[in-house]
Structure formats: structure tokens, C-alpha cells
């Protein structure tokens, strides 16, 4: 199943520089592993915001929830999820 996910990050002002560096490194490694596995299909930064739009390709809602709640930055995020279904007017049978 494909999901469109918007993630807005709101780091707390009192987060120390050391904590921020550590959590951001874990977030990058986690997300890149998921991208390499094909679960996190696409990621785009939203210009001018600490936010991204991503496409996930997972088995079901439960798997997506597990992945998102495992994000090191999860507790600092507002997340919006939209399930996707291929449009009948699409000229391609895949997302190329």
C-alpha cells in the first residue's frame, strides 16, 4: 500500500546541541535504511520549512504506524497520513 505522509518537525528550544546532533544522526540512519529497503519510496523537503513529504510503500496501516512511531524524531513531529490509490486515468501502471 502506498501512503503520502507529511512530517512537520518541531524541535524543542531547550534541546541541547549535543542531543540534537545525536537524534538527527539516528533519524538520518533510520530513514536511509528504510529508503534502501524500498519501504520509504520517496522523500522531498518542503522549501522554507522543517518538513517533508514522503511516499511509503508498506503492507498495511499497522506497518506504517510501526515505522513512523520508530522515527527518533517522532515525538517532535506533527504527521499527516493519506492512503493512496492509483487513479483510473493514470497513463502508467506504476509510479515511474
Average pLDDT on 18-36 reads 97
CATH code for position 35:
3.30.70.1060
Does residue 65 sit within a domain?
yes
Does residue 56 sit within a domain?
yes
Cell digits of residue 30:
533510520
pTM as predicted: 0.90
**Alpha-carbon dihedral of residues 63, 67, 68, 71, nearest 10 degrees?**
170
Per-residue pLDDT of 29-77, as tens digits, reads 999 999 999 999 999 999 999 999 999 999 999 999 999 999 999 999 9
What pLDDT does residue 92 have? 82
Does residue 51 sit within a domain?
yes
Contacts of 13 (CB under 8 A, 6+ apart): none
Burial class (CB in 10 A: 0-12, 13-18, 19+), 58: buried
- Split at pLDDT 50, 70, 90, the class of 28 is very high
Is the model's pLDDT at 7 over the cut of 90? yes
What is the extent of the structural domain holding 65?
2-84
- The distance of Cα 80 from the centroid of its chain, to the nearest Å, equals 10
**How many domains are contained in the chain?**
1
- The distance of Cα 76 from the centroid of its chain, to the nearest Å, equals 13
What pLDDT does residue 94 have? 74
Does residue 72 sit within a domain?
yes
Is the model's pLDDT at 96 over the cut of 70? no
Amino acid at each position: 500500500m502506498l501512503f503520502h505522509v507529511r512530517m512537520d518537525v518541531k524541535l524543542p528550544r531547550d534541546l541541547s546541541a549535543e542531543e540534537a546532533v545525536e537524534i538527527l544522526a539516528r533519524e538520518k540512519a533510520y530513514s536511509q535504511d528504510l529508503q534502501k529497503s524500498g519501504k520509504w519510496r520517496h522523500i522531498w523537503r518542503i522549501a522554507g520549512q522543517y518538513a517533508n513529504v514522503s511516499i511509503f510503500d508498506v503492507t498495511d496501516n499497522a506497518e506504517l504506524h510501526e515505522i513512523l512511531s520508530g522515527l527518533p524524531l517522532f515525538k517532535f513531529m506533527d504527521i499527516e497520513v493519506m492512503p493512496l490509490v492509483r487513479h483510473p486515468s493514470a497513463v502508467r501502471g506504476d509510479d515511474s
